[in-house]
Structures are given as structure tokens and as C-alpha cells.
Chain A
């Protein structure tokens, strides 16, 4: 790389490192909800992208309401929107579990089809309510700027917010599953559903709330993605391929696997994109993922469970 000064190169490398980390956070945020649900119940939620977009639309509504009724709060409305997005997706998740998923636990393959039907319906509902066009979610100016770390290093603030949210959510999920009484019950149900039921755990309730939380996290992701992407009835589809790749590559049932796989894919992609063209980088990453999946189809990590 001739012709560039050393400081230039160093700052580009630093910023590129951040770009990789941001991509990693985005992947984790996208995939975590899906992985939790799959790990817990063996259900793949094909409407994941639509739950995500629900979060984005909630942010959109929130920004309008705040701008109209409480403009003073506009600079910080986003944090309320994240909570609202979680709440809305969580509630919808609970309702969907109650109406749909719980009837299908014995037929996990059929949940794929049912949730896909659900995603069609949700897309059409969004289109009817918000119109077919993209909506612009207006964000407070401070969130759309860059942090001037040094003279030549600029770090996108929205990237930092995404990273922060990811860390909070990941720690939250960790505490919930590995440190709380409720998490103990979740793990018990995952390990052996029948025995867990026998010792008095209400497995139905555990399933319902786990599904709700998985959807809620998707909603948070959607709220976060209003900072970096578009909001439209079909925008959920933009994220779904990457999400599935991350989950499959990570081994689907393991949260650690999901995080490891998000890290691997994001670093590979951002590094390759830097040296190659974008399409080429994506193709190489995809081919490698497929290759590894052929050699190790259970993914990077697998969870030993008794079923």
C-alpha cells in the first residue's frame, strides 16, 4: 500500500477494527433471539425478521409521538423506544406462542411452515398500516454523528450504541439463563423436558416466556437497526439470511456457538471486504461456511442434551 502515510494506515486499521466489531455486534443482536428460541424449543422462528421490523416500526412511532408531544425529550427518546420495541415484540411473541407454537411442539418441522405463514401475514399488516414505502426514522442528531477519537480516527456513534446494546443484552441473557432461578428452570427443560415437568417445573410457561424473550430481543435489534438500515415492510428479509447463517454455523443450540460464529463470520467478512470487492468477499465467506458445514454439519459448537 504505497503512497499512504503511516498515521493514515494506522487510523484506517483502527477504524477497520471498529467496523469489524460493529458488524459482530449487529450479528449477535440479530441472531441471539433466534438462537435462544431454537436452543430452548427446537423451533425455528421464520418470522424473526418481522419481529425485528416490529421493533423498528415501534421506534418510528415513538419518534413521531415524542416529536409531536414532547419535543424536549427527543434527544433521548431512543432509549424509551428500545424498551417499547422489546415490549411490543415480547407481547406479540407471547400471543403467537399461545395461539400457534404451543400446538406444534410435537411437530417442530411444522413450526417452520406456520411461522413462515405468520411472516407473510405480518408483512402485509405492516404494509397496510405503514404503507409500502420505506419510512424514515428520525434520530436525534447526536446519535448520527461520529466520535472524533484522534485527528484521523472517527468512530460512528451509532455503532457504539449498537455495541453497547449488544453487550447489555448478552449480559442480560447470560444472567437470566445461568444466574437466575428461572434460568435454571429453562436449562432444566432444555436438558430433559419430561423430568423437568416431573419435578414440578411449569414447562408450558417456561416455553412461552422464552419464546417471548427471543422475540423481544429481535425487537430490540430492530430498534437498533433503525440507526444503520431501512425500515419497510420487507426489510426484515434483508437480515434474515445473515441471521440464519450465523445460527447454523454456530451450532444452533448453543449461545456460545452463536457468539463465536458471529465473531468468525463478521471478522472474516470485514477483513475480506477490505481487501476484495464486497460481492466477492461475501461469496468467499459463504463458500467457506458451506464447506465447513459439510465437514462439520452440526456447526461450531453443539450442546449435549438428552431428549
Chain B
């Protein structure tokens, strides 16, 4: 009882859950999974970055973005461009008409590296671009939309249109982007072969640790006054505005934060999967990422990450047995979650915890107030 009581401050309880999560992904999974399955979980973890950002952006600030695949993809492409340049050394590409450029450029009769590829020879630049490029795009979109008080469903479909447009752009400019095939056959990172099982295990741990750091960062945001303001404007935007806050700036921040972590996730995806393609950017993957978040619980950081892991794990497992049934199950799952469990697995879990005998102390953790009702956020 004393242990329970001591853990019962919401603050500590949340840290405990985080510690448990860390143990699961850093110790339990690596010790029970063979390298191939672990690598799959490494891939799922990269979606965890996206869902994490969505908790801040959607769960807290109430901004539904159906274009997270764009940021995920941009981060991934920045990484892939660096890796591709490294894989396209003159020695590796002797058989091409122009050695030293990526193979798909050669197939498209491009004879020298385009200017925007040049800086990606530098790892430092590429790593910075992984975060900066998605953030800047989010900033531009955010300023254009939120300053004019566009939000709600309309914002969601604009982000979706952007996802569609970027996909078409990338597919259409295949000489510069690899087209529908994407950027494939990535081999080494500064001479370190990323394709071996050993490298993939290391990359898994890198992803896991980066994810935990991002969770901590997101937690700092949520605990701060900023986080409280985000939740306030989700529930009553006009009141926050009347209190003298510039609502748009907070929304832009939340959107940019989500974009930045999604970009990191994309880069980790590229490293672990070994390629990046427009099929990760478009409408479908973008919505799927939102679904992962919704299933896990849009108001809980850890819930959202568990959501990404669980849905993807289920997808892999069930689609091995019953691919047709899987689509029905997935569709049904989304509808069920939306209709019956708006706070996802985390909400169900929290209900269960609340039923347990309570010690003295806070009842509810700050920062995870369930979504009661979203406002239409109509452009007015």
C-alpha cells in the first residue's frame, strides 16, 4: 500500500509507465524477438514518432492533420538522399552512362547531379534537413492556415490535398526523385553497412532511445503552460483568444512539433527499411498514422505509441493468415474505436485503473483530460 501511495502522484505514475515502456522496448522485445521480428518492431517504432506528434497536435491542440505522411516522408527522403549519394559512388555505378549519380537519374538521361541534391553529400546537413525541412513546410502551412483561422475538418482535408499533391509531384519528377519506385538500394552510412542484422539491431536501439527522448520532450511540452494552453484552445478556442493569447501561434507550434518528430521517424524508417518511396507519403499512409494514434489513445503519449506498435503488429500477424479478413477487421476496428472508445486503448486502460482502489492524492493526471467534444472549428 505504501508503494502504491508513493506512486500515486500523477507525476510519478506517469514516469513509472514511461519506465515500464522503456523496459519493454529496450529489454523485453530485444530479448524475446529474433532479429527479423525485432527489425519489424523497429519499423513500427518509427510510426510511434508520428503518433507521438499527433498527440500534441491532435489530442491536445485539436488540430487533425491528415498529412503527417508528408512530414514522415520528407524526413525519410532527406535521409534517403544522403544514403543514396553514398551508395552511388563512381566505383559502384561504373556501368551507368554517367557514373557517380544515382541510378534512377541515369535511367532518366540526367547527366549531372541536380543542385538540390548537392548538399546531401554532407551527413550533418542531411541530419539537420531531416528535422528542418518538415518543420519549415509545417510552418508555412501553419502560418497560411491558422493565421486566417482555418481549422477543423477543412484544415484536415487541405493537409490531405497536400499529401496527394506531394505524392504526385514526386512520382512525376522521377528523374530527380526516383518516381514511384522511390529511392531504393541504400547500403551504407559513412561506410557502415546498414543492411546487416547486426546493424539493424543497433538501429533498433537508436530508434527506441530517440523515441523515448521524444516522448520526454513531448512530456515537457505538455506539462508546461504551453501544453495547458493548447488543451484550453482545443476545448474553448474563443475564450483563449479573448484572454489575450494569439491562438494561431500556439497551433503553429503544435503543428510544427508534430512535423519535426514525424521527420525524425521518417529518417529512422529509411535507415531500418532501406528505402523510401512515395507510397509512404500519400493519403492512405497519412490516415493510417492517425488511426494508429486514435486506436492507442489520442490524449496519451504512451497510448499513442503503443497504438502504433499494436496496430502494426496486428497488421503483420493477421495479414499473414487472413489478408482479406484483415481489411474488414481494420475497417471495423477504426469505426469501433471512433464510435465507442474516443480515447482509445489508453482510455480503456485508464478506466480500468480508476476502478482500482484509490489511495489519497490526485485522481486524474493532468494533461490527459479526455476529449469531450471537439468544436467544429469553422472558418468564420
A interface residues with partner B (beta carbon < 8 Å): 38, 42-44, 46, 100, 103-104, 106-110, 112-114, 116-121, 123-125, 127-128, 240-241, 244-245, 247-248, 252, 279-280, 282-283, 286-287, 289-290, 293-295, 297-298, 302, 305, 307
Contact = CB atoms under 8 A, between A and B. Distances in A.
Contacts of A248: 154, 157-158, 161
A43 B290 CA distance: 17
30 contacts: A38-B153, A42-B376, A46-B287, A106-B374, A109-B374, A110-B338, A110-B342, A113-B291, A113-B294, A113-B334, A113-B337, A117-B291, A117-B331, A117-B332, A118-B335, A121-B327, A121-B328, A241-B168, A247-B157, A248-B154, A248-B157, A252-B154, A286-B168, A286-B169, A289-B165, A290-B162, A294-B141, A297-B150, A297-B158, A298-B150
A107 B154 contact: no
Interface string B322-334: 0010011011111
A121 B328 CA distance: 5
Main secondary structure on chain A at its contact with chain B? helix
A117 B333 CA distance: 8
Contacts of B130: none
B339 interface: yes
A28 B195 CA distance: 49
B144 interface: yes
A101 B42 CA distance: 36
B324 A127 contact: yes
Contacts of A117: 291, 330-335, 338
B30 interface: no
Nearest to B340: A103
Contacts, number: 141
B334 A116 contact: yes
B339 A294 contact: no
Nearest to A46: B287
Contacts of B333: 117
Contacts of B58: 109
B331 A282 contact: no
A282 B173 CA distance: 12
B379 A298 contact: yes
Which 3 A/B pairs are nearest by Cβ-Cβ distance?
A: A117-B334, A120-B331, A121-B331
A109, A241, A295 pick with most chain B CB within 10 angstroms: A109
Contacts of B165: 286-287, 289-290
B58 to A, nearest CB: 8
B362 to A, nearest CB: 28
A192 to B, nearest CB: 12
A108 B164 contact: no
Given A42-B378, A117-B291, A124-B331, 7 more contacts: A108-B152, A117-B334, A121-B331, A247-B157, A283-B173, A290-B161, A290-B162
B339 A100 contact: yes
A116 B295 CA distance: 14
B292 to A, nearest CB: 11
Given A107-B373, A108-B153, A252-B154, A120 B330 contact: yes
B168 A282 contact: yes
A112 B64 contact: yes
B332 A121 contact: yes
B66 interface: yes
A307 B378 contact: yes
A233 B114 CA distance: 40
B290 A113 contact: yes
A295 B374 CA distance: 27
Interface in B270-293: 283, 287, 290-291
B377 to A, nearest CB: 8
Given A100-B339, A128-B324, A286-B168, A108 B162 contact: no
A303 to B, nearest CB: 10
Nearest to B164: A241
A245 B162 CA distance: 9
A295 B331 CA distance: 36
Contacts of B152: 42, 108-109
A283 B161 contact: no
B202 interface: no
A235 B98 CA distance: 40
Nearest to A119: B331
Interface string B289-321: 011001000000000000000000000000000
A222 B101 CA distance: 45
Contacts of B66: 112
Contacts of A297: 144-145, 148, 150, 158, 379
Contact of B376 (A245, A290, A307): A307
Given A42-B376, A295-B144, A241 B283 contact: yes
A186 to B, nearest CB: 17
B293 to A, nearest CB: 10
Nearest to A307: B378
Contacts of B376: 42, 108, 307
B140 interface: yes
A128 B324 CA distance: 8
A244 B157 contact: yes
B201 interface: no
Nearest to B336: A117
B374 A108 contact: yes
Interface in B130-159: 140-141, 144-145, 148, 150, 152-154, 156-158
